[in-house]
């Protein structure tokens, strides 16, 4: 056993000397390989973390949200619908929700404006999220003006900002009183953006949703379950960018494997011949080739995964910012719950390390079995 | 010590370029002596060396090494025996480019799995013996012809083999280096090793230490006689 | 030092770091859980329905509330809202409708 270990160490020594000969090429290979693993692992970790956060945070999202649809578009819902819905058996309460989007031309950003039930928010006061605070450089007791639907400007005093921890849900949020909301957006009294319904028995939610549809057919109930499932599909692999990343990664691997599998150069074949002539068996040559594949792929895999974890959890996925942000100007700073899934890492390991190692050994098979005397004859 | 019985070696059997390199070879190589295979190129010297050194299996015939028939041994055992018993010096030297001199010398011993430190010391000792100690970390491309020759010899010795086999060793050397080479072979003989050299260079076969000359032509032996 | 030793040390250091990653993830989970609990309360209080991932368009900011047709209007690849629209696709609920209620 000790001999076997010593032999492997010797073979590894030779492999490293051999790889060192083409230092530039092999370093470039490791870098690109690491980059590919880094990208894949980053996407995997980011998606996992976001899904976990969404699942935990949105657990208490409204049980049913009722939207009114007019010609397929989401329209304001009359409050009279609320009383009709509250008469359905099993409904505990129906509340109105007032919210919308405000486009701020000064910053070029969209804000989500919402009315809160909190009675302590007076007229003329607002609460803003950290993202807005950062973007407009406004803090507690500063003033912000918004252009109302009638062309006049309304000014608000910032009562406070949401804490940094809440960026994931409230980065772009403005909390406002009902009166101010209606003045700002021109939403008449008697109408709301949508209704939220609380049911008595959670298991009855789908049944009650069906009844809501019967009672007010021009509405669309959205169930809590559906909201949660939305986030399972975030970064769906069918999405354009994810597809591009995956395709790029697969292409990169095909290129690596092709480079290895295209067969050995005459130089490599000659060297294998020499090794066999000086006393290496076929098995020794193949073990050496195995190390050659493993050195590159294992190093790249480990570096890629470590860098990915650092990227996602210590820089808050800084490299994904431009992708998620798109053209939007406001981007939340989030610290995600660190999620490393052993199963996913193992999958990534098998998808990256094994094919490359195999692609290094297989083309050498033929050369490794040549007669040692071929080197003498050439 | 090494006996060849009715050895025949055919390359590319059954194909259009079929070639019988050697045929009807019956030969006994004596222990502790220098034997030279003499003959023009194409006479089968290199093939015979390969068969003697267990580098290739004969198409027909038997090879007996130290009273043990090795012709039909599986590759693993044959390679292990070859590694322990024979040290090869190739015509083209066949050192690995880009690797250091010291590592080149150590390579034949890698599959043995022996202690690395001991191996390193042994290889360094061999290089010192040939006055190459200061070149041990240099890449082999930097060596002169004579230096490369000596590294090749050092490599052949790293497993302390009983038999040294050299194929046209003086082909790339001038007269002085050729004579130096034969001196080194003589010192091996003094140390009790068996030496087999294939060469058509007079400096080799007319050298004083040569005990047997085996003449070959067209794959057959002509005469096996003492020098 | 032997080259193979250097390599093994490199790998071992990386494996140790990888182990640290798993430990870090496990250790940090507790802190995050309390943060997430607090966020859960905010969600309940304010009646929020979505994470603030990208504020570029209504259907990327509130994907669970999106109009049926808007994401499809701007899909495939949502070029005007590229790249965020390509990443936050139309929610699954729009792709299958009312299955539970039929």
* Inter-chain CB proximity B167 and A376 less than 8 Å: yes
* Inter-chain CB proximity A376 and B79 less than 8 Å: no
CA distance A229 to A224: 9
Q: Chain C: nearest CA to A262, how far in angstroms?
A: 27
- Res C61 pLDDT > 80: yes
pLDDT the model gives residue A280: 92
Among A164, A199, A223, identify where a domain stops. A223
* A-chain residues near C96 (CB < 8 A): none
For C49-73, b where at least 16 C-beta lie within 10 A, e where not — what string? bbbbbbbbbbbbbbbbbbbbebbee
Mean pLDDT of A229-234: 79
Reported as a pLDDT band with limits 50, 70 and 90, residue C102 is very low
* Inter-chain CB proximity C61 and A110 less than 8 Å: yes
- Expressed as residue numbers, the domain containing A76 is 61-223
> Do A251 and A208 lie in a common domain?
no
* Inter-chain CB proximity C49 and A169 less than 8 Å: no
Q: Show the tokens assigned to A247.
A: 């395709």
> Do A359 and A290 lie in a common domain?
yes
State which of A28-37, A283-292, C86-95 shows the largest mean pLDDT.
A283-292
> Do A132 and A48 lie in a common domain?
no
* B-chain residues near A373 (CB < 8 A): 47, 50, 55-56
**Counts of helices then strands in chain B (DSSP H, E):** 7, 10
Strand partners, A157: A125, A143
> Do A193 and A262 lie in a common domain?
no
Residue of C nearest to A345 (CA): C18
- Domains of chain B, with CATH numbers? 2-226 (3.40.50.300)
Q: Chain A: nearest CA to B225, how far in angstroms?
A: 26
* Inter-chain CB proximity B107 and A5 less than 8 Å: no
Phi and psi of C49, rounded to 5°? Answer: -125, -5
CA distance A123 to A121: 7
Reported as a pLDDT band with limits 50, 70 and 90, residue C40 is very high
Quick check: A114 contacting C, CB < 8 Å? yes
CATH number of the domain encompassing residue A158: 2.40.40.20
Quick check: C12 contacting A, CB < 8 Å? no
CA distance B146 to B179: 12
Q: How does DSSP classify residue B70?
A: -
Which one, of A138, A172, A134, lies nearest residue A155 by Cα? A138
Q: Which of C32, C40, C65 is facing A222, going by the closest CB pair?
A: C65
Q: Chain C: nearest CA to A157, how far in angstroms?
A: 20
Quick check: A54 contacting C, CB < 8 Å? yes
Which one, of B35, B14, C78, C48, lies nearest residue A116 by Cα? C48
Residue showing tokens 């490369």: B148
> Do A247 and A196 lie in a common domain?
no
> Do A40 and A14 lie in a common domain?
yes
Among A168, A189, A223, identify where a domain stops. A223
CA distance A131 to B79: 71
Domain parsing of chain C, residue ranges? 1-47, 58-95
Mean pLDDT of B77-87: 90
Contact A156, A176 (CB under 8 A): yes
Reported as a pLDDT band with limits 50, 70 and 90, residue A240 is low
CA A266 to each of CA A261, A364, C22, C49: distance values in angstroms, whole numbers, following the listed order: 14, 12, 45, 64
Residue of C nearest to A225 (CA): C93
Among A199, A223, A247, identify where a domain stops. A223
pLDDT the model gives residue C94: 56
Contact B159, B105 (CB under 8 A): no
Residues in chain A: 378
User: What is the overall mean pLDDT for chain A?
Assistant: 88
* pLDDT tens sequence across A107-137: 888 899 999 888 888 889 999 999 999 999 9
Q: Chain A: nearest CA to B46, how far in angstroms?
A: 7
* pLDDT tens sequence across A146-177: 999 999 999 999 999 999 888 889 999 999 99
Domain-embedded: residue A12: yes
Q: Which of B55, B97, B116 is facing A376, going by the closest CB pair?
A: B55
* pLDDT tens sequence across B23-75: 888 999 988 999 999 988 888 888 999 999 888 889 999 999 988 888 888 88
CA distance A217 to A210: 10
Residue of C nearest to A170 (CA): C52
* Inter-chain CB proximity A233 and C92 less than 8 Å: yes
Q: Give the HSE-up count for residue B62: Cα atoms under 13 Å, Cβ half-sphere.
A: 9
Contact B85, B162 (CB under 8 A): yes
- Res A228 pLDDT > 90: no
* Inter-chain CB proximity C21 and A340 less than 8 Å: yes
Top-confidence residue, A286 or B226: A286
Which one, of B83, B84, B55, B88, lies nearest residue B154 by Cα? B88
* Inter-chain CB proximity A6 and B49 less than 8 Å: no
Residue of C nearest to A209 (CA): C101
Angle, vertex CA A49, rays to CA A46 and CA A52, nearest 5 = 145
Phi and psi of B176, rounded to 5°? Answer: -65, -50
Q: Show the tokens assigned to C7.
A: 């390599």
Q: Determine the distance from the C-alpha atom of residue A241 to the mean position of all C-alpha atoms in its chain, rounded to a whole number.
A: 11
> Do A50 and A83 lie in a common domain?
no
Per-window interface: A 233-262 vs C, CB < 8 A = 233-236, 238-242
> Do A148 and A132 lie in a common domain?
yes
> Do A90 and A195 lie in a common domain?
yes
pLDDT the model gives residue C99: 47
Domain-embedded: residue A137: yes
Cβ neighbors of B78 (< 8 A, separation 6 or more) are: B54, B70
Helix (H/G/I), strand (E/B), else coil: C25: helix
Which chains lie within 8 Å of chain C at 3 or more CB pairs, if any? A
CA distance B76 to A307: 44
- Alpha helix (H) ranges present in chain B? 45-52, 75-85, 101-106, 116-129, 145-157, 175-190, 202-205
Cβ neighbors of B224 (< 8 A, separation 6 or more) are: B27, B212, B213, B214, B215
Which one, of C23, C15, C22, C5, lies nearest residue A301 by Cα? C15
Count of beta carbons in the 10 Å neighbourhood of residue A198: 12
User: What is the overall mean pLDDT for chain B?
Assistant: 90
* pLDDT tens sequence across B120-158: 999 999 999 899 999 889 999 999 888 999 999 999 999
Cβ neighbors of B20 (< 8 A, separation 6 or more) are: B8, B9, B10, B219
* Inter-chain CB proximity C21 and A325 less than 8 Å: no
* A-chain residues near B115 (CB < 8 A): 6
Contact A338, C29 (CB under 8 A): yes
Domain-embedded: residue A229: no
pLDDT the model gives residue C83: 63
Weakest-pLDDT range from A283-287, A366-370, B195-199: A366-370
Top-confidence residue, C86 or A93: A93
pLDDT the model gives residue A101: 93
* Inter-chain CB proximity A17 and B103 less than 8 Å: yes
Q: Chain C: nearest CA to A377, how far in angstroms?
A: 33
CA distance C38 to C45: 11
For A15-47, the three-class secondary structure string (H helix, E strand, C coil) is: HHHHHHHCHHHHHHHHHHHHHHHHHHHHHHHHH
Contact A91, A200 (CB under 8 A): yes
Residue of A nearest to B101 (CA): A17
> Do A248 and A317 lie in a common domain?
yes
Angle, vertex CA C28, rays to CA C23 and CA C29, nearest 5 = 105
CA distance A335 to A317: 9
pLDDT the model gives residue C98: 47
Cβ neighbors of A160 (< 8 A, separation 6 or more) are: A127, A140
Interface test with A, best of B84, B85, B113 (most A CBs within 10 A): B113
Q: Which of A7, A18, A278 is facing B88, going by the closest CB pair?
A: A278
Mean pLDDT of A169-192: 94
* C-chain residues near A73 (CB < 8 A): 67, 69
Residues in chain B: 227
Which one, of C45, C56, C24, B56, lies nearest residue A310 by Cα? C24
> Do A146 and A265 lie in a common domain?
no
Interface test with C, best of A34, A240, A325 (most C CBs within 10 A): A240
Quick check: C1 contacting A, CB < 8 Å? no
Quick check: B59 contacting A, CB < 8 Å? no
Indicate the number of domains in chain A: 2
Which one, of A231, A373, A357, lies nearest residue A294 by Cα? A357
CA A258 to each of CA A19, A240, A254: distance values in angstroms, whole numbers, following the listed order: 18, 26, 6
* pLDDT tens sequence across A312-335: 888 888 888 877 777 778 888 878
> Do A136 and A37 lie in a common domain?
no
């Amino acid at each position: 056993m000790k001999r076997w270990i010593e032999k492997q160490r010797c073979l590894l020594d030779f492999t490293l000397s051999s790889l060192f000969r083409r230092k530039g090429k092999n370093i470039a290979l490791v870098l690109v390989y690491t980059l590919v693993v880094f990208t894949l692992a980053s996407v995997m970790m980011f998606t996992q973390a976001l899904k976990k956060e969404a699942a935990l945070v949105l657990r208490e999202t409204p049980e049913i949200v009722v939207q009114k649809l007019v010609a397929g578009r989401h329209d304001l819902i009359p409050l009279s619908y609320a009383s009709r819905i509250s008469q359905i058996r099993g409904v505990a309460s129906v509340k109105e929700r007032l919210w919308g989007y405000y486009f701020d031309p000064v910053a070029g950003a969209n804000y989500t404006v919402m009315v809160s039930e909190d009675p302590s928010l007076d007229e003329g006061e607002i609460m803003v999220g950290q993202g807005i605070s950062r973007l407009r450089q406004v803090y507690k007791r500063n003033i912000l003006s918004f252009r109302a639907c009638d062309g006049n400007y309304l000014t608000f005093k910032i009562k406070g900002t949401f804490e940094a921890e809440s960026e994931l849900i409230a980065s772009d949020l403005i909390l406002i009183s009902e009166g101010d909301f209606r003045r700002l957006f021109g939403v008449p009294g008697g109408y709301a953006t949508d209704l939220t319904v609380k049911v008595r028995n959670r298991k009855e939610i789908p049944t009650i949703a069906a009844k809501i549809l019967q009672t007010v057919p021009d509405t669309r109930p959205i169930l809590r379950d559906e909201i949660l499932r939305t986030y399972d599909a975030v970064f769906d692999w069918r999405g354009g960018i994810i597809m591009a990343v995956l395709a790029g990664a697969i292409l990169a691997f095909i290129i690596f494997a092709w480079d290895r599998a295209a067969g050995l150069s005459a130089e490599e074949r000659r060297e294998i011949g020499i090794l066999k002539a000086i006393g290496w068996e076929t098995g020794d040559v193949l073990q050496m080739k195995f190390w050659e594949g493993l050195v590159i792929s294992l190093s790249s895999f480990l570096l890629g995964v470590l860098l990915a974890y650092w990227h996602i959890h210590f820089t808050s996925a800084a490299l994904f910012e431009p992708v998620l942000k798109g053209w939007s100007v406001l981007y939340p700073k989030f610290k995600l719950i660190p999620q490393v899934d052993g199963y996913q890492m193992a999958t990534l390991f098998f998808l990256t390390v094994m094919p490359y190692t195999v692609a290094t050994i297989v083309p050498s098979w033929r050369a490794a079995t040549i007669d040692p005397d071929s080197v003498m004859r050439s | 010590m090494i006996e060849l019985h009715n050895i025949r070696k055919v390359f590319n059997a059954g194909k259009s370029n079929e070639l019988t390199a050697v045929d009807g070879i019956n030969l006994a190589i004596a222990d502790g002596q220098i034997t030279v295979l003499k003959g023009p190129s194409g006479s089968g010297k290199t093939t015979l060396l390969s068969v003697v050194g267990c580098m290739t299996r004969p198409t027909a015939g038997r090879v007996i090494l130290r009273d043990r028939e090795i012709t039909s041994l599986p590759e693993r055992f044959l390679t292990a025996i070859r590694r322990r018993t024979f040290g090869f010096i190739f015509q083209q030297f066949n050192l690995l480019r880009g690797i250091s001199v010291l590592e080149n010398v150590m390579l034949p011993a890698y599959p043995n799995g022996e202690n690395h430190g001991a191996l390193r010391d042994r290889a360094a000792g061999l290089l010192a013996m040939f006055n190459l100690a200061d070149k041990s970390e240099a890449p082999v491309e930097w060596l002169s012809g004579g230096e490369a020759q000596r590294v090749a010899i050092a490599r052949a010795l790293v497993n302390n083999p009983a038999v040294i086999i050299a194929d046209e060793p003086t082909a790339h050397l001038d007269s002085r280096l050729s004579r130096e080479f034969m001196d080194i072979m003589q010192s091996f003989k003094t140390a009790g090793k068996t030496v087999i050299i294939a060469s058509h260079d007079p400096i080799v076969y007319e050298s004083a230490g040569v005990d047997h000359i085996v003449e070959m032509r067209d794959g057959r032996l002509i005469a096996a006689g003492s020098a | 030092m032997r080259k193979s030793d250097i390599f093994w040390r490199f790998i071992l250091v990386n494996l140790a770091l990888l182990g640290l990653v798993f430990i870090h993830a496990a250790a940090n989970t507790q802190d995050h859980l309390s943060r997430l609990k607090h966020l859960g309360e905010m969600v309940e209080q304010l009646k929020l329905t979505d994470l603030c991932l990208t504020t570029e368009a209504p259907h990327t900011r509130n994907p669970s509330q999106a109009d049926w047709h808007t994401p499809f209007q701007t899909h495939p690849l949502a070029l005007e809202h590229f790249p965020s629209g390509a990443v936050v696709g139309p929610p699954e609920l729009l792709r299958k409708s009312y299955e539970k209620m039929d």
